Structure 1
Amino acid sequence: MSQPGDTNTVNELDGLREEIWNRALHAFATASVFEARARRLKRRLNWLNFVAFAVPLIVGGLALGYGAGFPHLGAVIAVGAAVGIVQLVFSAWSGTSGWVESYGYALTSHADNQRLSQDLRELAASQSRDIDSSRNRYEVLKALDNARQAQDSNQHIEEQEKRMGMRAALRERRRQCAGCKIEPTSMTPTDCDVCGNFKVRKF
């Protein structure tokens, strides 16, 4: 068993903590990716639901309120029908693309990766010199993180999403990028191939 005061033990503990910090960083980056996905999918689903309810209500309200006396009722119905068709097309697209399922997965992955990142950071920041205890705790968290990564790898994360996630993690940790050697202070993308070159997507 390692002795807390040994030089080798201190070096080993420092190396272990650096590994834990790096894993925490990547977990936070992944959490940021799925947080961004969840926001985009929520906006899409909210717009679909809004249009699905708003168009019939507007057309129906005008028809009931003014009847045939409303001079532009025919045009309103025509526009409403056109918007309704577009909404149906997008609803079909959302169904075949699995927006609802993807939204649910993104929320779950974001929460899990955030929790893993927090647990890893707390372990890395611990002042305990008991390397055996730290290593045992880390092995448990690493197993959970590996399982989460295996699931997330099936979600087709794009390279630009990875770079966006890395920028978010570097900014949160106040850490320099390995590529451009700059500590990000905002999420405005740069030309860096490690923490930049991504599009800020709203939808």
Structure 2
Amino acid sequence: MAAGVGDYQGKCRDGALHAFGTARIFEQRANRLKRKTDVLTWVGLVVPLLIGALVGTFGKNKLWGLVITIAAVIAAVQLAMNLWSLIRRWREELSYSSGSAAANDSLATRYTALADGPPALATLRAQFEKLEVEDISRRDRDGEKGVTEKERRMGMRPTLRKYQRPCGACLAVPTTMDPSACGVCGQF
């Protein structure tokens, strides 16, 4: 039996749900990585600037040894964190996460638009298939990034809330972003 307009609308709505949730996951990752890289950059600049300002203002005095010791400890911690960020590829992950969030938001929007205003069946089928190819490619790339169960639950809650869908486990439609005790849409 051939799929009708309603079948494609349902597939589009399911695609929108998945893409929206994935966008939230990568948006959260990007926000977290941006904060970390911003702190590293700030510490890397503020320590030498403060030392220069202190020397320029007060010159060498009896507290100079203490200032150098504190600055050296901060610089050592900052150097270790910079090394860790290079090893963990924070900048590349930030770039990927930001791009994935935007791409998945676009997919969700286009799926929703296709479901809400479907064209004639032949056009709907063609547009859906084109969108599905793009979505599968995005899912494959996102799947390589090791999304955790906690992140999946975190992505599920705003998705259920936006699309006013009940959770499959607790049967509640979330009204807030506060974590619940549910093992599907909470505990994040």
Residue deviations 1:137-181 (CA, integer Å, cap 9, x gap): 100000000000010011001111011111111111122111111
CA RMSD of aligned residues (A): 1.5
Equivalent residue, structure 2, for 1:126: 117
Distance 1:194 1:131 in 2: 35
Equivalent residue, structure 2, for 1:98: 89
Letter in 1 for 2:69: A
Distance 1:68 1:127 in 2: 75
Letter in 1 for 2:68: I
Q: Which SS does the other structure have where 1:155 is aligned?
A: coil
Q: Choose 170-179 or 31-40, whichever is displaced more.
A: 170-179
Distance 2:108 2:60 in 1: 62
Distance 1:80 1:187 in 2: 40
Letter in 2 for 1:67: G
Equivalent residue, structure 2, for 1:76: 67
2:16 to 24, 28, 31: 24
Equivalent residue, structure 1, for 2:55: 63
Equivalent residue, structure 2, for 1:35: 27
Q: Is the 8 A contact 1:62 1:73 kept in 2?
A: no
Q: Choose 20-29 or 170-179, whichever is displaced more.
A: 170-179
Residue deviations 1:23-47 (CA, integer Å, cap 9, x gap): 1100000000000000000000000
Q: TM-score, normalised by structure 2?
A: 0.95
- How many pairs are equivalent? 188
Query: Is 1:148 equivalent to 2:127 in the alignment?
Result: no
Query: Is 1:160 equivalent to 2:145 in the alignment?
Result: no
Q: TM-score, normalised by structure 1?
A: 0.88
2:105 to 96, 114, 133: 114
